[in-house]
Amino acid sequence: MKGSLLYEGKAKKVYYVDGKPEQLILSYKNDATAFNGKKKDQFAGKGRLNNLITARIFEHLHQQHIPSHFLKALNDTEQIVQKTTIVPLEVVVRNIAAGSLTRRLAIPEKTVLNPPLIELFYKNDELDDPLINDDHAKRLADVTEHDLDHIKILALKINEILKRLFRQADLELVDFKMEFGRLADGTIVLADEISPDTCRLWDVTTGEKMDKDVFREDIGDLIETYETILQRLEENKCVK
Ligand code: TMP
Ligand code: ASP
C-alpha cells in the first residue's frame, strides 16, 4: 500500500500510496530540530506522539467542519492524508506574545493579544522563513486576495476551536503555526501537522511550557511533556 518516498522533511517523510494518486502517507520521524535546523536531536517515541496528537486534533477539527487534508491515522507513526500542493506560507496565530514576536517588536512576553494576531512567514529554509506581508504573499505564494482572506478566516476559526480544546486539557494555546494546501480542484484546506512541535502550550495551572520550547530552551523532558499533552487530550475526548 505504501508507495515510494516523495519527500523527506525535518519532521516527516511523505510517501505515495500505491493505486491512489490522490492520497499520501505521512510518516512522523523522531527527529527534533529548532532554529531552522541549527539545533538537532532525536527522541525515541516523538514520531508516535506527534502523529497521534495531530490525528486527535484534526479529527476534532473535522467534527467542527474545518476542511483539512487529514483522512486517518494508519498506525502509531503514520497517517493517510489527501494529496495537496502546499501553499508556501506558515500562518501563525498568536493569542499571547511569546517567541519571535517578543524579540522582533519588543512586546513583553505574556502580553495578551486580543484580537489574536496573524502573521505570515514565507516557507523557505534558505531564507530562514522570513516574515512577509500580504502583498509579498500574493507575489511569492501564488495566492489571491480572496485566498488570503479565506486562509485568515479559517486560521481564526481553527484558533477558536483549538483554544477551547486545549483549555479543556488545562492548556493555554499561546500561539501556533498552520500550513494550508490545495486539493486537485484548487480548494484550500488545512494541511501539515498541529502538534507540540508547532504550537506553544502553557499549563493553565502552573504556567509551565508544554511544547517544543522545552527542547529549544533545554528546560525539560520532551517525551514526558508530549506524552502529557496526548494523555490530557485523550482524557477529554468526549468533552465538546
Ligand atoms: P515563533 O515565535 O518562533 O515565530 O513561532 C510561532 C509559533 O509557530 C510557535 O508556536 C512555533 C511555531 N513555528 C513552527 O511550527 N515552525 C517554525 O518554523 C517556526 C519558526 C515556528
Ligand atoms: N521548526 C523550525 C526548525 O526546525 C524552527 C523552530 O521550531 O524553532 O528549524
Dump pLDDT digits (tens) for 97-121: 999 999 999 999 999 999 999 999 9
pLDDT in tens, 166-207: 999 999 999 999 999 999 999 999 999 999 999 999 999 999
pLDDT level of residue 56 (50, 70, 90 thresholds) = very high
Amino acid (1-letter code) at residue 143: V
Torsion of CA 34, 35, 39, 41, to 10 degrees: 10
pLDDT attached to residue 239 = 52
Rounded-to-integer distance, Cα 63 and Cα 157, Å: 13
117 alpha-carbon distance from chain centroid: 16
124 alpha-carbon distance from chain centroid: 16
- Please say if the pLDDT value at position 91 is more than 80: yes
pLDDT level of residue 1 (50, 70, 90 thresholds) = confident
User: Which atom of ligand 2 has the smallest separation from the CA of 197?
Assistant: 7
Which among 88, 90, 49 is positioned nearest to 177, based on CA atoms? 90
Inter-residue contact 199 to 165 (CB < 8 Å): no
Would you state the cell numbers that stand for residue 169, as one nine-digit string?
Answer: 486539557
From 8, 36, 122, 128, the mutation candidate for ligand 2 (largest count of ligand atoms within 8 A of CB) is 36
- Please say if the pLDDT value at position 94 is more than 80: yes
Which among 90, 50, 84 is positioned nearest to 70, based on CA atoms? 84
Distance of CA 148 from the midpoint of ligand 1 (Å): 19
Mean pLDDT of 53-76: 98
pLDDT attached to residue 189 = 98
pLDDT attached to residue 238 = 61
Rounded-to-integer distance, Cα 155 and Cα 66, Å: 10
* DSSP 8-state code for residue 135: H
Angle between helices 145-168 and 46-63 (to 10 degrees): 110
pTM for the full predicted model: 0.96
pLDDT in tens, 205-238: 999 999 999 999 999 999 999 999 999 999 987 6
Distance of CA 238 from the midpoint of ligand 2 (Å): 33
| Cβ(9) – ligand 2 distance below 6 Å | no
Written as one string, the DSSP assignment of 84-99 is -EEPSEEEEEEEE--T
User: Which atom of ligand 2 has the smallest separation from the CA of 38?
Assistant: 9
Rounded-to-integer distance, Cα 90 and Cα 120, Å: 6
Other beta carbons within 10 angstroms of residue 84's beta carbon come to: 22
Which residue's alpha carbon is nearest to atom 1 within ligand 2? 34
Shortest-distance ligand to the CA of residue 123: 1
Would you state the cell numbers that stand for residue 100, as one nine-digit string?
Answer: 519571535
The mean of the pLDDT values for the chain is: 97
Which among 126, 130, 66, 63 is positioned nearest to 92, based on CA atoms? 130
